[in-house]
Structure formats: structure tokens, C-alpha cells
């Protein structure tokens, strides 16, 4: 049988594991059961692209996940590549069949009210670490910079007279991010506290004991610790605050192109994902407010 010879080929020539071969066999069995249900006269060598598309649709109708359907389609594609090489079929029925697109999850973000509750209503420890941690959260929320960008900040990158921060992003591309009076005050207070805490030369703007720059894991811990005070989100990371900045800007009528530049995105397409988030916000408002929602 064609199927058996293909599975034997995977075992002996491609050195696939037994588990993988079993998975391929199951996928081919499912496809065969489907096309026999369409027409009992059909064989692997006589099905066409419409039959394959019908199988994909039937899997989706059963509620199979996009990743599962695409994996099964990949099994079928490998099978027909093998048949073509063996000259057992003249046309690959899978060649022009496109699998379902995997849905991209919407960015996780913190609502403005929760951020205000944290930054304005929560009592941070009256220590250097407490002042530093609050200032870091302010910077993330007010600028949307990445974790690596915050860690790399140096004193000379913060221009208090022009109210801009110079950020070095991916591929050493630099950009300027403006900031307001509230962040200016927070940064000034932090620098005063840092001078009392450590009088020597600092490696970076944000430091820990000994004037050493923070590690990625310590920044993650700080953000997660404080976000846990105001949200129950499963994910609580610096990148969530980046999403929060972008979503907040767009929700308050910022231009998409401007947000793209502030985030340091290469493509507008990357930034557009946040418009879906704001649309979800609009849907929620509609559902809560409209009597016929």
C-alpha cells in the first residue's frame, strides 16, 4: 500500500521516530476516511485539491485548532511529495491548498485605571529600591521602551532640559522619546536618592547595589511584583507595559505613525496590532452601554 511504503520510507530513510511515524499514519488514516466518505471510489492517487480543501474545512468544523490542522496538512504534503518522487502521482493535490492562518493573540495590557492606582495610590517602600522601582514603572508606562532599552540607559541619555530620552533599540537604532513633567519629577527624585545610595560612578541610569546595572531577570521580577498588586493578568512583564503604553496612546487619539516611531517599530504592520486591542475596547464599551448590544 502507498501509505505503508511511505511510513517505511520515513523510518528507514528519514530516520523518523516511531512517535512521529505513528502521527503521520493517523493523519493519513483520517484523510482516507474522509475522502472515502465523499466517494468510496476515490483513492490517494485520484483525489484532487477540492477534496483536500474539503478535509481541511471539515477539521475546522470539528473545532480542531489551527496548529493541529496545519500539522495534518503538513503530513499530507510530505506524503504527496513522496508519491511525486516515486512517480506514483502526476499532480500534487496539496500544492495549492493553504492551511488556516493561526490567530495572533491580542497584546496583553493593563488598563489606565489600574496603572493610576499603582503609580498614584500604592505606597512604595521609602527606600532607594522603592524609589527606583516606582521610577522604572513610570518610565515603562510613559515611554513604551523595551526592557533591554531601559537596562541600557545611561545618565547622558536623559535630557532634562529638552525632556527627551535617547533610546538605543534593536540593531543599535536610536530614537528620541519625549516625556512630561510628571516623569521629569520622578526621574529627578530618583537621581537624588541614587546619589545618597551610591556616590561612585554608575554603570547605568538604573542601578542596584555597587552601582551595577540591573539584570533582565531582576527587572522582570520588579515589574511582576508590582503589577501583581493591581491586576490578575497571567502575564506581568515589562513587555506588557510596552503594550500598555501603545494601547493607551491609541485610545487617546494618538496617530498610528507617531506610536510606531515612539515604539521603534520598523513596520507600521507591527504597530497595527494595537488597533485591534483598541477595537476590542470599543466593543466592550458598546456591549456595556447599548441597550440592544
Based on the residue annotation, tell me whether 274 is a catalytic residue of this protein. yes
Enumerate helices (H) and strands (E) in the chain, giving the number of each.
12, 3
Radius of gyration of the chain from its Cα atoms, rounded to whole angstroms:
28
How far, in Å, CA of 87 to CA of 249, rounded? 58
Output the domain CATH number for residue 261. 1.10.443.10
User: pLDDT per residue over 35-91, tens digit each?
Assistant: 999 999 999 999 999 999 999 999 999 999 999 999 999 999 999 999 999 999 999
| Mean of pLDDT values over 174-189 | 96
Based on the residue annotation, tell me whether 265 is a catalytic residue of this protein. yes
Catalytic residue, candidates 72, 132, 242, 243: 242
| Mean of pLDDT values over 130-141 | 98
| Mean of pLDDT values over 20-34 | 96
Helices (H), the chain: 2-12, 18-38, 49-61, 66-85, 112-116, 128-143, 147-152, 181-197, 216-227, 238-251, 256-263, 268-289
Give residue 101's pLDDT. Answer: 85
Based on the residue annotation, tell me whether 81 is a catalytic residue of this protein. no
Residue 33 lies in a domain: yes
Q: Please count the CA atoms within 13 angstroms of the CA of 249 that sit on its side-chain side.
A: 23
Cell of 251: 485610545
User: pLDDT per residue over 191-209, tens digit each?
Assistant: 999 999 999 999 999 999 9
Give residue 153's pLDDT. Answer: 97
Q: Are residues 152 and 80 part of one domain?
A: no
Catalytic residue, candidates 34, 80, 141, 274: 274
Q: Are residues 240 and 117 part of one domain?
A: yes
* Domain boundaries, position 21: 2-85
| Mean of pLDDT values over 137-155 | 97
H/E segment holding residue 158: strand 158-159
Q: Are residues 260 and 127 part of one domain?
A: yes
Q: Are residues 38 and 121 part of one domain?
A: no
**pLDDT of 141 over the 80 cut:** yes
Catalytic residue, candidates 146, 213, 243, 260: 146
| Mean of pLDDT values over 6-12 | 94
pTM over 0.75: no
Based on the residue annotation, tell me whether 224 is a catalytic residue of this protein. no
Residue 190 lies in a domain: yes
Amino acid at each position: 500500500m502507498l501509505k505503508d511504503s511511505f511510513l517505511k520510507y520515513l523510518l528507514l530513510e528519514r530516520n523518523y521516530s516511531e512517535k512521529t511515524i505513528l502521527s503521520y499514519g493517523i493523519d493519513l488514516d483520517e484523510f482516507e476516511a474522509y475522502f472515502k466518505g465523499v466517494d468510496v471510489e476515490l483513492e490517494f492517487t485520484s483525489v484532487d485539491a477540492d477534496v483536500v480543501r474539503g478535509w481541511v474545512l471539515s477539521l475546522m468544523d470539528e473545532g480542531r485548532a489551527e496548529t493541529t490542522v496545519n500539522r495534518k496538512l503538513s503530513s499530507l504534503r510530505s506524503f504527496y511529495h513522496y508519491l511525486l518522487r516515486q512517480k506514483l502521482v502526476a499532480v500534487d493535490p496539496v500544492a495549492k491548498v493553504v492551511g488556516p492562518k493561526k490567530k495572533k493573540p491580542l497584546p496583553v495590557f493593563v488598563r489606565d485605571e489600574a496603572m493610576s492606582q499603582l503609580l498614584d495610590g500604592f505606597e512604595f517602600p521609602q527606600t532607594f529600591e522603592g524609589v527606583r522601582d516606582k521610577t522604572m514603572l513610570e518610565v515603562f508606562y510613559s515611554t513604551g521602551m523595551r526592557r533591554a532599552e531601559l537596562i541600557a540607559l545611561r545618565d547622558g541619555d536623559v535630557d532634562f532640559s529638552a525632556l527627551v530620552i535617547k533610546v538605543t533599540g534593536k540593531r543599535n537604532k536610536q530614537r528620541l522619546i519625549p516625556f512630561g513633567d510628571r516623569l521629569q519629577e520622578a526621574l529627578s527624585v530618583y537621581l537624588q536618592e541614587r546619589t545618597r545610595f551610591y556616590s561612585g560612578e554608575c554603570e547605568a541610569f538604573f542601578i542596584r547595589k555597587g552601582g551595577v546595572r540591573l539584570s533582565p531577570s531582576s527587572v522582570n521580577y520588579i515589574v511582576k511584583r508590582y503589577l501583581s498588586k493591581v491586576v490578575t493578568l497571567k502575564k506581568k512583564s515589562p513587555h506588557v507595559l510596552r503594550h500598555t503604553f501603545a494601547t493607551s496612546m491609541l485610545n487617546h487619539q494618538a496617530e498610528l505613525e507617531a506610536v510606531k516611531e515612539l515604539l521603534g517599530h520598523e513596520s507600521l504592520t507591527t504597530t497595527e496590532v494595537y488597533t485591534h486591542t483598541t477595537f476590542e475596547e470599543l466593543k466592550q464599551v458598546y456591549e456595556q452601554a447599548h441597550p440592544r448590544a
